[in-house]
A and B are shown apart, each in its own frame.
Chain A
Amino acid sequence: GEDVEQSLFLSVREGDSSVINCTYTDSSSTYLYWYKQEPGAGLQLLTYIFSNMDMKQDQRLTVLLNKKDKHLSLRIADTQTGDSAIYFCAESKGNTPLVFGKGTRLSVIA
């Protein structure tokens, strides 16, 4: 079956880098995603990576994919207080529904 696991909490100091990790079980996953959810809000698509890529960088965000270990990470450089939110890892096969983890709550300490 499909399963996506994330650690529940992460706390970092403002200006440091944050690394949020995720593991998934479905080796046929084609796309892996990171979504951000701020309090009381919907989900914001931050970035996604195709399974034949190892890395994707977009401004302060770096996504690393280790397909062999089924491990995905999101690095946020120079973390700011506005980055405090819940970050969801998700996977799909492109045209299949998104399967989400339970989310990692990132707290940024000023």
Chain B
Amino acid sequence: ETGVTQSPTHLIKTRGQQVTLRCSSQSGHNTVSWYQQALGQGPQFIFQYYREEENGRGNFPPRFSGLQFPNYSSELNVNALELDDSALYLCASSLQGAAYEQYFGPGTRLTVT
């Protein structure tokens, strides 16, 4: 069984730029959720994807967007990066209807300068 993987591991971007983060879900899982974890904080829910559509969104602006592909992998896109976007971005996969078992990837550390 393959666990959740994310790429890249680390990323440095400049304010105003755009970034794309990638996530491959655990084998057999059809639902992907993205979380933002700022330094010293708990993860905050960004959005969830199921059947290639957004299926719930947290309190994040529209410049945070995503995609899910037929193989259930997912992308998180952030436009017009701000300094406060610096964080660890975590992807979690689960089965729809079994969100009580979400398994997280190692995360992507984004630094915006």
Residues in A with CB closer than 8 Å to B100 are: 30-31, 33, 48, 92, 94
Residues on A lying within 8 angstroms of B by beta carbon are 4, 30-31, 33, 35, 41-45, 48, 88, 90, 92, 94-103
List 14 additional contacts besides A42-B6, A43-B43, A99-B45; criterion CB under 8 Å: A30-B100, A35-B104, A42-B90, A42-B107, A43-B90, A44-B104, A48-B100, A96-B56, A96-B99, A97-B56, A100-B44, A101-B42, A103-B41, A103-B42
Contact A98 B105 (CB under 8 A): no
* Residues of B within 8 A of A (CB-CB), count: 25
Contact B99 A42 (CB under 8 A): no
A-B contact count (CB 8 A): 57
Q: Is B48 an interface residue (CB 8 A)?
A: yes
